[in-house]
Amino acid sequence: MSIQRDPIYLDHNATTPVHPEVFEAMVPFLREGFGNPSSGHVYGLRARAAVERSRVAVAGLLGCSTDEVVFTSGGTESNNLAIRGAAAAHPEKRHLITSAVEHPATRLPCRYLAERGLEVEWIPVDGTGTVDPDAVGEVLRDDTLLVTLMLANNETGTIMPVGEVARLAHGRGILVHTDAAQAVGKIPVRVDVLQVDLLSIAGHKLYAPKGIGALFVRGGVELSPVLLGGGQERGLSPGTENVAYIVGLGRACELAAADLEVEARRQRTLVDRLWDLLSEAVPGLRLNGHRSQRLPNTLNVSFPGAAGSRILARTDGLAASTGSACHEGAEIPSQVLTEMGLTQEEAFGAIRLSVGRSTTEQDIDIAAHILVRAWQES
């Protein structure tokens, strides 16, 4: 009897598996290290020490001070705390700037504020999915609260010019936030290089568990909490700390820092190989996103004459994502891709392929073969 192998996993932008070393670091704090970090006895002190060690690790990866790291439940909470927290702390500021291709965890808080009277400026992107910094500069105002711009797009991998935008905004005394969930652990992300005031991390995008994240809050930046409760995490993310998961995030950040450039080069080589194999076999295959300013692990392509969902339905040996979403049985093209100028047919034909630490060259060769065959049969 043959053993059926799990599909090749090329959906690391959706979530990453928990790294074995991350898991091992967490286990003691799911067992004997159960103390509440706010308790003054030995159990609590051990837990508090573990949280602070992890804070050092996150700060080390980002290049910031430990007192600028706030642990959260993930990227969504971090984005909400940054955007809504800044608005609550500065009620006199009534203008907000973002891009047309943000993740819902940014887009929806911006809409929430728009419904409550703030004016939100949605900056378009070009055909590569990139925002023009000058377009942002032209709409900066004296009452602009914040510019929030993702560092790397979750669908195409396109890297945004956050540093250039930050320099323009800071010239007017305006705060800058970046959702760096897809970027941290894949490319160097240093807060002083980016010059941002607020930066969001999601643990499950860099081999930590789901349900843990962090927000960098530059010293001196005022935020009001979105959640109300105890004084944990400076009162910005109240609630008893999830010690085991915080430990996992810290270990994941240490692993990322140790081999960031080497692993990025390896993954870029795999992605380039995948593009070469697919484009040679599929005439008219379209690459979506910037050709060079793109995450090293991400390849978004549109197959001609076939829906990405139909192609993936025929790929039992491959796990990946399409460029569309299904709502109540109706397929809707990706807003990111349509904002980039793709036709509906091109957007429906999109598939996002994202490699990770465990991906091998053999995986790439098999995946390319599976995709080409599925396209031919669609």
Q: Which residue ranges form the domains of the chain, and what is each CATH number?
A: 8-16+259-377 (3.90.1150.10), 20-256 (3.40.640.10)
What is the rounded CA–CA span in Å between residue 204 and residue 19? 10
Residue tagged 């994202």 (tokens): 354
Q: How confident is the model at residue 3 (pLDDT cuts 50, 70, 90)?
A: low
Q: Which residues, 6 or more positions from 64, have their beta carbon under 8 angstroms from its beta carbon?
A: 191, 192, 216, 218
Tell me the pLDDT tens digit for each residue of 26-75.
999 999 999 999 999 999 999 999 999 999 999 999 999 999 999 999 99
Distances (CA, A) of 129 to 134, 241, 270: 15, 37, 22
pLDDT in the model for residue 328: 44
What is the rounded CA–CA span in Å between residue 15 and residue 12? 5
Tell me the pLDDT tens digit for each residue of 311-352.
999 999 999 999 655 444 557 899 999 999 999 999 999 999
For residues 147-166, average pLDDT: 98
What is the pLDDT of the chain when averaged over all its residues?
A: 96
**What is residue 204's DSSP assignment?**
G
What is the rounded CA–CA span in Å between residue 202 and residue 179? 9
Rounded to a whole number of angstroms, the distance between the first and last alpha carbons of the chain is 31
What is the rounded CA–CA span in Å between residue 119 and residue 139? 12
**Contact at 8 Å (CB) between 226 and 89?**
no
What is the rounded CA–CA span in Å between residue 333 and residue 338? 7
The amino acid present at 130, given as its one-letter code, is: T
Which residues belong to the active site? 326
What is the rounded CA–CA span in Å between residue 375 and residue 282? 8
